[in-house]
A = this chain, B = another copy of it.
Amino acid sequence: MRRDVTFRSVLKAVSREAGWEILRAVAEGPTRFTYLEKNARVSPRTLSERLKELTELGLIERVAYPEVPPRVEYTLTARGRTVIEILGALEEVL
> Which residues of A are interface residues toward B (Cβ below 8 A)?
5-8, 10-12, 14-15, 20, 79, 82-83, 86-87, 89-91, 93-94
Q: Is the CB of A10 within 8 A of B94?
A: yes
Query: Which of A10, A15, A93, A94 has the largest number of chain B CB atoms within 10 A?
Result: A94
CB nearest to A13 among chain B residues: B15
- Hey, which chain B residues are within 8 Å of A15, CB to CB? 8, 11-12, 15
Q: Is the CB of B5 within 8 A of A94?
A: yes
A-B pairs, 8 with minimum CB distance: A11-B15, A7-B91, A86-B90, A12-B15, A15-B15, A7-B94, A82-B93, A86-B89
Question: Closest CB of chain B to A16's CB: distance in Å?
Answer: 8
Question: Closest CB of chain B to A64's CB: distance in Å?
Answer: 27
Contact of A90 among B5, B7, B91, B94 (CB under 8 A): B7
Q: Is the CB of A11 within 8 A of B14?
A: yes
